[in-house]
Structure 1
Amino acid sequence: MFVTVGPGQYHRNAGIISDSGLYIKRFGSTAVLVGGNTSRQVIDGPLRQSLSEHGMTLKHSLWFGGESSQTNIDRLVEQLKNETFDVLIATGGGKALDTAKAAAYYLNKPLVAIPTIAATCAAATPICILYSDEGEFLEISRNSKVPELVLVDTNVILNAPVRYLIAGIGDTLAKWFETKCSIKKAVPNAINQTAIAIAGQLYQTLIQKGTTAVSSIHEQNITDALNDIFDAIILVSGSVSGYGGDDCRTAAAHAIYSGLTIFPEIHDTYHGEIVAFGILAQLCMEGTEEQEVRMLINYYQQVGLPYTLEQMAIKSLTENQWKALGEITVTIEDMANMPFEVTPDMVITSVKKANEIGTDMLVATK
């Protein structure tokens, strides 16, 4: 048995980037930073200064390319394969971190992750979600590495748009709904039962503290609830997959997310926002009572998650588009983790049903 539970070390503190050299210096004397344009602007100065104070040099600061695509991964590897440096530092959101995780895998370099938003668990997982250069989901790649060190600066994430945190709540909610579904195909053991227990606790944390955390961002105030949600999204969520392995994987909610990415108009909607809608569709696919779906939508309304296609810029779909959505979604590997065979018609029916319930509740609020 082989289990990658999560990163080697995880540190969360306000202003930790200003002390980052203290933690990173154990990897050597030279570093390269890879990330998004905004995230690099935010952390480059304090990171570079702290590294210098601890005898380290930041040799390069590189843009990851905008998508976690094989093209961008290959470009980074080509840029860095003949460079002499000791550690790769990744910063930004999920796509930036995943691109750097893949590059570190091919370059065989230690990796430090500094997420600047709390939108996914990318900083704590050993996988890379691959997209096309245009942003369409392609596959889950294992040619990636889990970071040796994760540094979370709560001051930085506090100043990021609140929508990222809301998306992170949506993505993390899926851990419970998908894990309790995918584990039905597994033989119970100590490790996968630990994973499902963690997923259940994650769900309770999100339900109990999510609205307070969102309010804390609006009020620009770091609270215990906000710190708990940061940790839940970035670290604990990834450990569910770490402990669960192939027994506790993403399922229909993420498959439906991936299927919906074939529509360009949805590309301005964040990963976790689309996944949140995918949860509703998965519940409909499982035959969940409508009242339970409505109760979850009530929570979405409190935190600001979308629950209709229109809220994600999909105003209407043609018959051929519905057909394409169904046919593509069932080919996504996540869908194979459902405890029953899913057909294209089941996907279409469940997405339409979730959208119908959500639209009814949206109209009721106007």
Structure 2
Amino acid sequence: MMVTVGPAQYSRKAGLLSDVGLHINKFGKNAVLIGGNTSREIIEETLRKSLSEHGMMVQKSLWYGGESSKTNIDRLVDQLKSEDFDLLIAAGGGKAIDTVKAVAYQLNKPLVAIPTIAATCAAATPITILYSDEGEFLEIGRDSKAPDLVLVDSHIILHAPVRYLIAGIGDTLAKWFETKCSIKKAVPTAINQTAIAIAGQLYQTLLHIGQAAVTSSQNQTLTKELEDLIDAVILISGSVSGYGGDDCRTAAAHAIYSGLTIFPEIHQTYHGEIVAFGILAQLCMEGAEVEEVQQLIRYYQEVGLPFTLKQMGINTLTDDQWRELGEITVTIEDMANMPFAVTPSMVISAVQMANEIGNGMLVVSK
């Protein structure tokens, strides 16, 4: 048995980027920075200055490619395999960090992750979510490594668009709903029972601080609630995945997210926003009472998460599109963690029911 609970080390504080060289210099002198264009623009000047103060340098600064796809991973590996450098620095959101985790695995280099948004737990997991070059989910890649060090500057997260933080709440909520479902199928062990315990506490934390943290971000005020939420989304959520492993990492909510990515109109909706809707559909699939789904939607309304297909850009689907959604979703490996066999018609019914309940809540909220 081998378990990777999370990154080797995690550090978060306001202004941390100015001291990043102090944390990174143990990995060598020459670094390659890979990330999103916006992320590199935000951090690169301060990063270079701090590294220089500790006798280090950014040898190259590269765009990751826009999708965590095999094409982009292979391109970066080919570009760097003959280069002489000591470590990789990943900057950005989940797709950027996932891409560099796969590159670091193939090149066998130390990896430092600097998340610039708190939207997923990608910085704290050893897997890479692989997409096509067009953004359709393909598979969970395991030729990937957990970062050796995660550095989070809470000032950077504070000044990121609040929608990313809200998406992070959605992705993190799934840890409780998927873990408590998938654990029913797994053989109980000390490790996966720890995963469900952490997931339960994580859920309660989100309920208690979610709205306050979002308000803090909207007001551009760094508060304890916001910093706790950053840790919850990036680190603690990742530890649930680490302890749960393939037994109870994900279930129908993420499978439905992956299925929905076949529709191009949803690609402007963030991962955690779609996953949040997937949770509602999973609850319907499990036979939850309507009131339970409505109660969760009321929380979504408080923090700003979507709860209908239209809110995510999908206005109508043809019969063929519904059929395709059902057929593709049941092939996603996350769905195999459900404690019962799921058919395409069950997926369609669950998504339609969740959407119907959500539309009813739109009327209530007016």
TM-score by length of 2: 0.99
Query: How far is the alpha carbon of 1:131 from its aligned partner?
Result: 0.3
Letter aligned with residue 65 of structure 1: G
Determine helix, strand or coil for the equivalent of 1:33.
Answer: strand
Residues in 1 aligned to 2:57 and 2:351: alpha-carbon distance in whole angstroms: 51
Instruction: Give me the whole-angstrom Cα distance separating, in 2, the residues matched to 1:245 and 1:313.
Output: 32
In the TM superposition, what are the counterparts of 1:55-94 in structure 2 within 5 Å? 55-94=55-94
For residue 190 of structure 1, report the CA deviation from its aligned partner. Answer: 1.2
Aligned to 2:208: 208
The percentage of aligned residue pairs carrying the same residue is: 76
Partner of 1:240: 240
Hey, what does 2:32 align to over in structure 1? 32
Q: How far did 1:364 drift?
A: 2.0
* CA deviation map 1:160-212 (0-9, x unaligned): 00000000000000000000011111121211111100000010000100000
Q: How far apart in 2 are the matches of 1:246 and 1:329?
A: 18
Report the secondary structure of 1:184's partner residue.
coil
| CA distance, structure 1, for counterparts of residue 196 and residue 365 of structure 2 | 35
Write the letter of the residue equivalent to 1:178.
E
TM superposition outliers: structure 1 runs of 4+ over 3 Å: none
Q: For residues 103-159 of structure 1, give each alpha carbon's deviation from its aligned partner in whole angstroms, at most 9, with x where no partner exists.
A: 000110000000000000000000000000000000000010000000000000100
Query: 2:103, 2:186 → 1: CA distance?
Result: 32
May I ask how many residue pairs the two structures share in their alignment? 366
Partner Cα distance (1:332, 1:246) in 2: 13
Aligned residue number for residue 331 of structure 2: 331
- CA distance, structure 2, for counterparts of residue 249 and residue 117 of structure 1: 22
Q: Distance in 1 between matches of 2:142 and 2:247?
A: 16
Aligned to 2:355: 355
User: Aligned partners of 1:275 and 1:187: how far apart in 2?
Assistant: 26
Q: In structure 2, the residue corresponding to 1:246 is in which secondary structure? A: coil
Distance in 2 separating the partners of 1:98 and 1:249: 17
What corresponds to 1:139 in structure 2?
139
Q: CA deviation at 1:246?
A: 2.1
Structure 2 partner of 1:306: 306
The one-character-per-residue Cα deviations of 1:225-253 (angstroms, maximum 9, x if unpaired) are 11110000000000011111122121000
TM-score by structure 1 length? 0.99
Q: In structure 1, what is the equivalent of residue 320 of structure 2?
A: 320
Distance apart, 1:89 and its partner CA: 0.1
User: Can you give the 5+ residue segments of structure 1 that lack an aligned partner in the other structure?
Assistant: none
Structure 1 counterpart of 2:4: 4
Equivalent residue runs for 1:1-366 within 5 Å: 1-366=1-366
Which residue identity lines up with residue 204 of structure 1 in the other structure? Answer: Q
Cα distance in structure 1, aligned partners of 2:129 and 2:246: 16
Task: State how far apart, in whole Å, the 2-side matches of 1:223 and 1:79 are.
Answer: 42
* Cα RMSD (Å): 0.5
Unpaired runs of 5+ residues, structure 2, are none
In the alignment, the residues of structure 2 paired with residue 245 and residue 263 of structure 1 have an alpha-carbon distance, to the nearest angstrom, of 29
**Deviation per residue, 1:295-348 (Å, 9 max, x gap):** 000000000000000000100000000000000000000000000000000000
Other structure's SS at 2:60 match: strand
- What amino acid is aligned across from residue 161 of structure 1 in structure 2? P
In the alignment, residue 172 of structure 2 is paired with which amino acid? T
SS in structure 1 opposite 2:34? Answer: strand
Aligned equivalents of 1:152, 1:223: Cα separation in 2: 15
- Distance of 2:214 and 2:72 partners within structure 1: 33
Q: Aligned-pair distance for 1:57?
A: 1.1
Query: 2:62 & 2:249 partners in 1: Cα distance?
Result: 32
